[in-house]
Amino acid sequence: MTDNDYTQRPANALPTGYRFEEFEIQEVIDTNNDNIVYQALDHQLERHVAIREFLPHALIVRSDSQRLVPRSKQDQSVFLAGLDAFIRDSRQLARLNHPNVLQILRFWTYNDTAYAATPLYSGMTLAELMQKHPERIDEGWLRQILPVLCSALAALHDKGLTHCRLSLSSILIQDSGLPLLLEFGAPPQRVAEDGGSEMNKLLLHPGFTPLEQYSDDADTPLGPWTDIYSLGAILYTLVGGSRPPTSVARSIQDNCVPLTESQPAGYSQPLLAAIDRALMLRPEDRPQSVAEFAQMAGLSLDTAPLAPAARPAGSMLVPVDTQALTALKPVRGWEAYKTPLLTSAGVVVGLLAGGLLFGRSASIEHAKTVPDSVAPTASSTKASTADSALSRVYLHVEEGEQLAVNGKEQKMPEVTNGYISLQLSPGTYTLTLHNDKQSRSAQISVDKPGTWLLNPQS
């Protein structure tokens, strides 16, 4: 998305200055078949957020009172089916809490539709990257982002969710180099009389959508294999330069040339074979899980390189430098769809596999909501619980280590693949990990929302 992509405001968009309590709409930053995404100012926390509005353009018009009105009685049933799916999946997504999946900060219904507030993320979608910087896409780069992307998908699947919307436009490569799943919205149950079938077809991405998503047959279930087809189509496009034919056309006459036959230069046989397998028309012929696909492609979801930056901090497609990054002022377009990725002393940031970064979080709240023993030190930012914004910290832990915060022992959060997750309100913290053999610590000053990745040192 560029600054010039919105020379005219999209039809049915909320006007600039429109308020939802503390949120004030500032501008449109993205639009697609069923959503508009706005940049908004959160007046209570004095930060910018993105607000996603469920708005299927083909089905509705906006009244003078800003309510959404279906164009016809038939459109109303289709709209309501899609709205139910948006509400259900936003709630499920809010419970997932994975660093490489769009984070839901708040959700509400209004104007006869629904809204979800998320952080602002900065980067380029794969569609933009392929158009502007195709030279950056090679097997080495794919093998950096795929473990993170696969781990994010696996986290969805472990919760019984299927993304169902994967395409080049639904994956953002953040300025940190980490991929983020943007679009989310598993279709409603495919029962024709509830409008679900028609809504499904409005949400499909030709070339990236498997055959089972075009079917109204409940005996053809959706599952991880559905997302694996879409992931295969994304990789096929990135590697080969053009997207595969639609699955419906392939079911009549399959003209999709396997990558193992076309042999694009610079790509290994295991990766090409895994992509071809993911694009099989019959669901049972594809890998049945992300782990199976990763194994075929020679990817490891259990390890994460803590690679030093090869280029200055903030450059695209490489790890972020260990120097502190400051929050950027919001700008237009996808450049404004961002959340700060902040680092400080002791921070080790790289292309960490998403599987290392998810799991249950321990919340260390401000002094009013936790015992004094866990409160920030005296040099903390003085802010009330009501207006303090939590920041997330991921700590690399070793076997048998226990956690202390500002010298006070804490209950150890669940360890997932060598990491624990904490939420900290504004303040200054000394985080100590210790066992019988060693003690490691890191200091961090939290003064704004963000994400830290810490590897405490002895």
H helix runs in 121-267, sequence order: 126-132, 139-158, 196-202, 224-240, 247-252, 259-262
Together in a domain, 111 and 217 = no
Together in a domain, 103 and 164 = no
Together in a domain, 106 and 134 = no
Is the pLDDT confidence value at 177 over 80?
A: yes
Does a structural domain hold residue 90? yes
Together in a domain, 109 and 130 = no
Please say whether the dihedral angle defined by the alpha carbons of residues 150, 154, 155 and 161, taken in this order, is positive or negative.
Answer: positive
Does a structural domain hold residue 79? yes
pLDDT for position 94: 83
Q: Which of 94-103, 162-171, 278-287, 359-368 has the lowest mean pLDDT?
A: 359-368
Together in a domain, 112 and 128 = no
Task: Give the span between the Cα atoms of 15 and 8, in whole angstroms.
Answer: 12
Domain span at residue 104?
19-118
Together in a domain, 151 and 90 = no
Together in a domain, 137 and 55 = no
Together in a domain, 40 and 54 = yes
Q: Which helix (H) or strand (E) holds 295?
A: helix 290-297
Task: Give the span between the Cα atoms of 140 and 317, in whole angstroms.
Answer: 11
Q: What is the pLDDT of residues 36-81, one digit of tens each?
A: 999 999 998 899 999 999 998 889 999 999 999 999 988 898 899 8
Q: Which amino acid is at 192?
A: A
Mean pLDDT taken over the chain: 76
Does a structural domain hold residue 9? no
Does a structural domain hold residue 143? yes
Give the CATH number of the domain where residue 434 resides: 2.60.40.10
Together in a domain, 374 and 393 = yes
Does a structural domain hold residue 329? no
Domain's final residue, options 77, 96, 118 = 118
Does a structural domain hold residue 5? no
Q: What are phi and psi of 454, to 5 degrees?
A: -120, 140
User: How many domains would you assign to the chain?
Assistant: 3
Does a structural domain hold residue 200? yes
Does a structural domain hold residue 365? yes
Higher pLDDT, 454 or 448: 454
pLDDT for position 218: 67
Domain's final residue, options 64, 91, 118 = 118
Q: Which of 145-149, 150-154, 352-356, 450-454 has the lowest mean pLDDT?
A: 352-356
Domain's final residue, options 100, 118, 136 = 118
Copy the structure tokens of residue 448. Answer: 């704004």
Q: What is the pLDDT of residues 188-220, one digit of tens each?
A: 444 334 444 444 455 577 899 999 988 766 677
Copy the structure tokens of residue 8. Answer: 């005219």
Give the CATH number of the domain where residue 45 resides: 3.30.200.20
Higher pLDDT, 290 or 380: 290
